[in-house]
Amino acid sequence: MVLVVVMLVCAVLAGWALGGSVRNLARVRLRATWLVFAAVGLQLSLGLVGARGGPVDALATPLLAASQLAVVGFVAANRYLPGMPLVLLGLGLNALVIIPNGGMPVSADALRAVGGATATIAEPGKHRLLTEADVLPALADVIAVPLLRTVISVGDLVLAAGIGVLVVGQMRRHPRPSGRRARWKPAPGPRGLARDRKQH
């Protein structure tokens, strides 16, 4: 989440520096937005299931898989937008490790490298410590980013890159007028006024 926020800020600044406009982001037409609300609802349900504990935890994996598929479906429906293929690839890489492991495994070494405590990631159905039994550990949260005090995955990097391309691309669809174009034209001289009168 921290990486996404940082990427959004950097992308907006880059888009503006390249002549884009933030207003263009409000003009983006998204398809299948109901899938986003479905994913949020499933994530909230996942949090409730994790809080209860016990046998109910068996529902965590199906809810997690459903929420991931909902997000992937939303991105796939909007794949025509620039950067969305990268976003889809990033989500897919994360889903490959999250779904079979029942959550995103987090490297204890990477967590300590950013000054985090291993006990703080105990989120049933979301994050947990990486073990030798986990599937595809290379795709887990194993990349330490001390500057942001967070641990990310390869999928997160690809996802963030896709978001950056999306934001910059949309901001530059209709570039804002340059300073030269915005300048007032000089008033016409006497010859220009006489020419205009003859035309009328």
All residues at 6 or more sequence positions from 182 whose CB lies less than 8 Å from its CB, including other chains: none
DSSP 93-105: HHHHHHHHHTSEE
Cα distances (Å, whole numbers) of residue 163 to 7, 15, 114, 169, 172: 7, 12, 24, 10, 14
Residue 82: what are its φ and ψ, rounded to 5°? -65, 135
Residue 56 has a pLDDT of: 47
Residues 157, 163 contacting (CB under 8 angstroms): no
Q: Is the pLDDT of residue 168 over 60?
A: yes
Determine the distance from the C-alpha atom of residue 124 to the mean position of all C-alpha atoms in its chain, rounded to a whole number.
Answer: 23
Tell me which of 83-92, 114-123, 143-152 is least confident.
114-123
What value, to the nearest 5°, has the Cα angle with vertex 192 and ends 188 and 194? 130
Can you count the helices (H) and strands (E) in the chain?
8, 4
Residue 32: what are its φ and ψ, rounded to 5°? 55, 45
What value, to the nearest 5°, has the Cα angle with vertex 147 and ends 142 and 151? 20
pTM of the model: 0.76
pLDDT digits (tens, 9 = 90+) for 50-59: 555 544 456 7
Residues 109, 78 contacting (CB under 8 angstroms): no
Regarding predicted confidence, which is higher, 172 or 60?
172
Q: Is the pLDDT of residue 1 over 80?
A: no
pLDDT digits (tens, 9 = 90+) for 77-98: 999 999 999 999 999 999 999 8
pLDDT digits (tens, 9 = 90+) for 16-31: 999 999 899 888 888 9
Residues 105, 134 contacting (CB under 8 angstroms): yes
Would you kindly state where each structural domain of the chain is located, as residue ranges? 2-199
Tokens of 74: 């939303």
Residue 161 has a pLDDT of: 95
